[in-house]
Structure formats: structure tokens, C-alpha cells
């Protein structure tokens, strides 16, 4: 009688608002999407870990002493999660794990966090352990810090874990409050791939984290969450612009909660437009491709707002639109962008989906 495989699934996420606010102890608004990562596998009798990916190949390592891989770096997400779960006192032996899914990597939809979360749930289930969901998110975040080199906040992991169909996820990164927020039925999300891949570990993301921390220190506040717009003129120009983005994003998230509750899609879309302009001018984490996609989307009837989504520096954009026109808008956006960029983008109407399982 064959041993049944253990499997786990985690969705990607779209960042609605709250760009780079998570590691500044701010507030964020995201949503799980209907694309994700599935992992499956089983225990091994020996003390080895075998990691296979449909897209990236296969790597096998000793399970005893885990450290970041210099080759096959894509496997560091699994290796890092394994190490962090062990650090919590969870005994994990050898195992095989197969990675598959329909979530494109490098597009700002958090394929990394989806892989981390799916791997953590797989390992916990495989070894009959449980952890509170927020502790799982934090363990996966530490894995990304220690094994991948990206000093990410918790937005991606929390959204992937706590997502609910037709609901946004609000997360207060200081109080750790998670709130599920109904999303208006007459609104839809269109996600468009810019054609410029992201590589956050290359340094730009970590540099923004250092810059915002420097701004907080200069203002003598614990984090930029505590800064007011009036204080920002005390800062030199670069740090003032970085801090203005974070302060403005926090305000936009709080405003968005009221607008979503009122079903005000026009007002919510205007916040997305403001967010992208701030990313472009203040945080400088947009690109020419992302700016072109946003500008193109805003010209199409039925579009209420558009912005980059995720860390920036490439990746994808999010377009908010009237639900009844979503498919037509997706087709038109792809066609118009291809005409000016010479690149046929992947554009999809994304449903807001349930979280990891």
C-alpha cells in the first residue's frame, strides 16, 4: 500500500495599497489572488532533502546543517523555511518536495512568499505539528531575511495566509491586527506584467529599507508610522521624499477602509493613482515600463485607477476597474501596451481568492 503524498497550497497576492509600509510598522491592504504555488512530497528514510521544481530543476542536500545555497538559489526559500521551523524546536527529518504552480515569478505577485508559506504548511503537516498562522508568517519572513537576503516585511506572507474570497486583508504591522474587509462586487482587479523582471535581493529593496530607517532616526521617531506630514520638511530632500511616500501610503490605507465600506470605487481608484505617483516621484521604485502600463490603463473607459503592485523596480501593475468591463479592459490594455512597448504582456483578470491551505 503506497504512502499518500502530503500537499499544501498558497496563493500569490496583490498589494492594493500600503507600498513599503510593512517594515516601517505601518498599515497595509492586500488580497490573495486565484494563482499560487502547490508543493507535495513525503518523508525520506535518510537525512537528505530533495527539492524539485517544474521550472527550475532539482537539488538534493544534506538535512543536518542547513545554510544558504550559492547555486540553485531558488531552493533557498524551502531550505530557509526548514531551518526556521527547526529553530522553533520542530523536529524535521529528510523529505522530498515537488514545487508546481501557475504563479509567475518576478512579477510582483509574491511567488516567493507563496512558496515559503506552502513549504511551511507542507512541513508542518508532514511532521504532525501546528503553529499559529501569524507565527508561520513570521518564520517565513525570517527565512527570506536569512536565506534569500531580502529584508521584507510581513505583508506578503500574511496576505497569502489570511486571504479570503472576495475580501481584502488589512494588516497593522505594529499591533499585528488582521482584519478581513469585504471587497465591492462591482469592482474587479486586472493584473498586467510589465516585462521587466524584479530582483529584490539585488539591493534596491534593502536600500529603501535603510533610507526609511534613516529618515525615522533623523525625525527621532520609532518608525515612519509615527511621523506626520508637517515633520517631513526637517529632512534632506532624498529622505523627505522617501518618508513622504510611507506617510502618504499609511494615510491612503486608512482612507481606503472607509471607501471600501462605502462601496466608493471612484474614490478607491483615485487612491491607487496617488500611490503610483508617489512611487514614481518620491520612492523611485517605479520603472518606465510600469509607468507606461499605468498611463495606458488610465486611458481606457471603465478604469478607476492603476498603480504598480508589490516592491516595484519592475514586475506588474494593478488596475481597478468596473467588473462588467474587466475582460474587455484586460484585452485592450494588452493590445495598447504591446503597441507602444513592443512586448506582449500577460494580462489577467484576477479573482480575490481564499488563502493558503
The whole-angstrom separation of Cα 331 and Cα 312 is 23
Closest by CA to 189, choosing from 15, 10, 11, is 15
The whole-angstrom separation of Cα 1 and Cα 324 is 51
Q: Within 10 Å of residue 67's Cβ, how many Cβ atoms?
A: 12
Which of 22, 45, 47, 156 is catalytic? The answer is: 156
pLDDT of res. 196: 73
Residue 278's contacts (CB-CB under 8 Å, 6 or more residues apart) are 19, 244, 245, 248, 249
pLDDT of res. 65: 82
* Residues 50-93 pLDDT 10s: 999 988 999 999 998 899 999 999 999 999 999 999 999 999 99
pLDDT of res. 236: 98
Mean pLDDT, the chain, integer? 94
Q: Are strands 48-53 and 95-101 parallel, antiparallel or unpaired?
A: parallel
Question: Is residue 261 pLDDT above 60, yes or no?
Answer: yes
Alpha carbon of residue 203 to chain centroid:
17
Question: Which position has the grid cell 498558497?
Answer: 10
| Whole-structure pTM value | 0.92
pLDDT of res. 3: 55
pLDDT of res. 288: 93
pLDDT of res. 106: 72
Confidence of residue 2 (pLDDT cuts 50, 70, 90): very low
pLDDT of res. 301: 97
pLDDT of res. 64: 86
The whole-angstrom separation of Cα 342 and Cα 230 is 44
220: left (phi over 0), alpha (psi -120 to 50) or beta: left
pLDDT of res. 4: 62
Question: Is residue 327 pLDDT above 50, yes or no?
Answer: yes
- The number of residues in the chain equals 357
Alpha carbon of residue 310 to chain centroid:
5
Residue 156 annotated to the active site:
yes
Question: Is residue 202 pLDDT above 80, yes or no?
Answer: no
Cβ(300)–Cβ(36) below 8 Å: no
Hey, what domains does the chain have and what are their CATH numbers? 6-179 (3.30.230.10), 185-350 (3.30.70.890)
* Residues 140-172 pLDDT 10s: 999 999 999 888 889 899 999 999 999 999 999
Query: Percent of the chain, pLDDT > 90?
Result: 86
Strand order in the sheet with 303-309: 303-309, 316-322, 187-193, 347-350
149: left (phi over 0), alpha (psi -120 to 50) or beta: left
pLDDT of res. 85: 97
pLDDT of res. 200: 55
Amino acid at each position: 500500500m503506497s504512502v499518500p503524498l502530503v500537499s499544501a497550497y498558497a496563493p500569490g497576492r496583490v498589494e492594493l495599497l500600503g507600498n513599503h509600509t510593512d517594515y516601517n510598522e505601518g498599515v497595509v491592504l492586500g488580497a490573495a489572488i486565484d494563482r499560487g504555488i502547490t508543493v507535495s512530497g513525503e518523508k525520506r528514510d535518510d537525512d537528505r532533502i530533495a527539492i524539485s521544481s517544474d521550472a527550475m530543476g532539482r537539488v538534493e542536500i544534506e538535512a543536518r546543517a542547513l545554510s544558504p545555497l550559492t547555486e540553485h538559489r531558488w531552493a533557498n526559500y524551502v531550505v530557509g523555511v526548514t531551518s526556521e521551523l527547526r529553530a522553533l524546536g520542530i523536529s524535521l527529518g529528510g523529505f522530498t518536495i515537488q514545487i508546481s504552480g501557475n504563479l509567475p515569478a518576478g512579477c510582483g505577485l509574491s511567488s516567493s512568499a507563496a512558496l515559503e508559506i506552502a513549504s511551511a504548511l507542507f512541513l508542518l503537516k508532514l511532521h504532525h505539528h501546528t503553529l499559529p498562522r501569524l507565527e508561520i508568517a513570521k518564520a517565513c519572513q525570517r527565512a527570506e531575511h536569512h536565506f534569500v537576503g531580502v529584508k521584507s516585511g510581513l505583508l506578503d506572507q500574511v496576505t497569502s495566509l489570511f486571504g479570503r474570497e472576495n475580501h481584502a486583508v488589512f494588516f497593522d504591522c505594529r499591533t499585528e491586527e488582521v482584519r478581513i474587509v469585504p471587497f465591492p462586487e462591482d469592482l474587479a482587479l486586472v493584473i498586467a506584467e510589465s516585462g521587466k523582471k524584479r530582483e529584490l535581493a539585488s539591493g534596491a529593496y534593502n536600500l529603501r529599507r535603510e533610507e526609511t530607517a534613516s529618515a525615522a532616526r533623523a525625525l527621532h521617531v520609532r518608525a515612519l508610522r509615527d511621523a506626520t506630514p508637517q515633520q517631513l520638511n526637517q529632512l534632506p530632500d532624498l529622505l523627505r521624499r522617501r518618508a513622504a511616500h510611507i506617510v502618504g501610503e499609511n494615510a491612503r490605507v486608512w482612507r481606503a477602509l472607509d471607501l471600501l465600506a462605502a462601496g466608493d470605487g471612484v474614490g478607491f481608484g483615485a487612491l491607487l493613482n496617488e500611490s503610483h505617483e508617489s512611487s514614481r516621484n518620491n520612492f523611485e521604485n517605479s520603472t518606465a515600463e510600469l509607468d507606461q502600463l499605468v498611463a495606458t490603463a488610465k486611458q481606457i473607459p471603465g478604469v478607476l485607477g492603476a498603480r504598480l503592485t508589490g516592491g516595484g523596480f519592475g514586475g506588474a501593475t494593478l488596475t481597478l476597474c468596473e467588473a462588467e468591463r474587466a475582460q474587455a479592459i484586460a484585452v485592450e490594455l494588452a493590445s495598447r501596451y504591446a503597441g507602444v512597448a513592443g512586448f506582449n504582456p500577460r494580462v489577467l483578470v484576477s479573482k480575490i481568492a481564499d488563502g493558503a491551505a
